[in-house]
Structure 1
């Protein structure tokens, strides 16, 4: 190959126009290089359509002018030429008027543009013929030499490289656009999910607060019932005393008051006042314990708690919750055991466990219904074992017992938050651990490990 052609090929191959993805610039460079190397005035790139029955001119260089035209030739009009193209071989027509592949152009195309010879090199991309690089000579007797054919063939290969770079650029742009769109979608979806999560958290918090108030409401109802009994007795005793005083006053006015009647009144009055005093003390103690429980549940202060004594006083206020089913609650452990923790959280945990057990563990009133709370020391705190002898839980229920909103009594109005609140208070507020063991028909046992907490 002539040094001139080699130099042109080297320059084209090194040009950044080939690999930067700008197909128009690459096409111009290739046809200009073909014109320069072959010393001709006309060359173009023609591309096959999808059906491979027509060639469309993508770019044309004619006498130095580079144009993009809509010119097309169809297989129906040039069957011999397209038959030669289908062989995917180079068409070398030194005399275009005498070559079987190009003779069909003699009627109009060749004389219209003053063409006497044609050199068509197949353009291939990824192993498939996609068009031709068409070089046309306007000199009579022009012959295409082997090195010229090889030169144009290499330019055709370079075109395939340029087309790959162009497609790669398109794919990269599409990928960037898709990534940007995906990022926008992800951002929008993330914002939507965050909003939904915020709404869920707010709803969950409202439900948790509702559950707390429901538990407190049960305490209020139970305590009210318990307080009404001693108050009723006291009111009755007061009414009796008032009536006897009225009778005594009438007897005094009528001059019928005797020593026997006076002594009888004093004896009855003492009994009535003793009855009033004991029942009023009982009511006061119930209210005091209830007040302490209510305050504890709404107050979270880190204090030293004598656990056994505290649980005993707490259970007194909880007995109205379990009175209907005759549940007996017992506390076991050393009264000296102490732990630094949040007393209010303990109150909520025990209240929820007692309420949950009363509702789900025991089907009906029975003097055998029992809840026991055992307190023991651990290396860095205390262990509470809350056990009942109720109906127990199946394995699948145990696995979901601490999940929010899981309940086996949805149709009875259960919210499924009782044990979830217990779990969160133990693990988050008190930095402890809780586990559940249950056997159907034999009861359930909650083991709570509580560490001593430090003042932050």
Structure 2
């Protein structure tokens, strides 16, 4: 109340001084209005207003200074009252008990009063300091100024004292609050310890009860029901369940579920891994899945849409069950209500329940194994009798197969002594079984002069190597020899002794048949070469008169035998073109026949590849003009080959002319690119292309690709075949093709810079498939 009255007095005094100053300043306000009007028309007169204001302050300096002193006095007294009140509150807070002190909070209004009083005091102190500084020269009596300065100094000292006192009181209060918070946290920690101790006692009792019921007489289902009931009551959880994995690890099947409220058990629910991927992944990665808030945990996001809202579940605690480093199930605790913080002891308790579940699984599995073992022991004698009878039966069957096998079978010991042999071995070798047993393999079957070869074979088998299909010559009882394909290996018998098993098949008839086939093949190859020589000779004889026909037709067409009419020129021109085509066909046949007969001559020389490209361009110029195409040849300077220039020209000409014939529009480009070890020539066109079926028979003789240009374009199907033969068999190169229908084809030829030597007698027949 005192503080409010002081504030009222300070406000009334300040307003009174301000009113006197305003009334006295009316003339000055009028002067300031006139000054503002003048400034609107003459802005340069601005300093006159400042002088007017300063003059007003100097006139009423005494009133303003006393008013400010009065205000400072009121505010200083207010700070004194507030300091006393704040200290009294702090003293009372310290004198009370700690429990009562926790709930004592400093009045916010008191703190607000202290803050406002500080601000007001500072403003008033600064204002009076500025006022005295501005007006001290206008006092005639400087003693007054000294009095005012002394007053400011005293107010400054008192304000500093009260500011410091209030600051120390505030620091003291913060220390008291921290002490209260420390005691509060300590009490809460003690309370948590007490609660944790109670929970541990309940959990220990629960685990002890469950451990006492863990025996062979209690079934897994009954133990699971006891476990989830104890867990629900111990942790105060609304729902607890035990889930086990299916055999394929793709499902969790509920073995038992307990509702605390209804005390009812259910089972049989199924969770599919594909429907809840996040949950199943979390189970594989953690011993215990702790979800204090199921709507925020990453592992439970698969259930937040339907299951959690419908069951009002807020928290989840799952403990996985492991057996032999494999997760077999999970125990799930579902808390109904808001989010719940699962304590560490609760998590450990859930893990202990999972261990008990694992123990009961192991117990019943061990019991099942023991039961099965007893059953196996009871049936062991019957199984042994059955097995013995089966072995005897198999032995008879094996003996039957060995005796009737169409191959020789020998059993030998480590010294190569015959232990047993089958009837086929008796028939092939001529030795009887009784005579052979006990004698060594070398003394019976190894011909003279072949002892070293047979000993090497026996040594390889002795060191563990298996012989398969080894052709060997053996001696028969009558002194003759026969050839066998022998397979031999070393095994261990029932007593662990090494036994050598040798199986042989008579291949003498097969060898005779192979020899006759070789003779037949050589005769066929000789006949094929004779045929090729005949075709080459006949083609040469055909070419001689054909050249005469072409020559005479050319003379007649040039008008040297008289003028021809249009019809005669047309008919003779067709005959001339057909003759040229026939001559080209005969030349191709001659070349192919010579290649296959091995008599095609090559002329190796060093030449510039660019000259060959120039000749090719000149030779196909009529096709370029006729079909209105663009032919581009890119060939670097200075590339030389040591090869057959004529055959290379023939190869490139065949490929380029073929590309021009099957290109309706666009261009054909030829690029010569030197590689480190080979020269590459690429012929690319924008023609009709080749499908997969056409590519399969592209380089076969007398094969032409089916296309819409087949009828318009003359050909025999020998051009590319001959090109392939010359490149691969004579020039040592290769040719490949890539093509897309209606987009074009790319032929890539590669040949070495140095032509290899051609070896006759290794060429294929023209009618063979490529």
State which structure, 1 or 2, has the greater radius of gyration over its C-alpha atoms. Answer: 2
* TM-score, normalised relative to structure 2: 0.25
Bigger RCO of structures 1 and 2 (CA < 8 A, at least 6 apart): 1
* TM-score, normalised relative to structure 1: 0.39
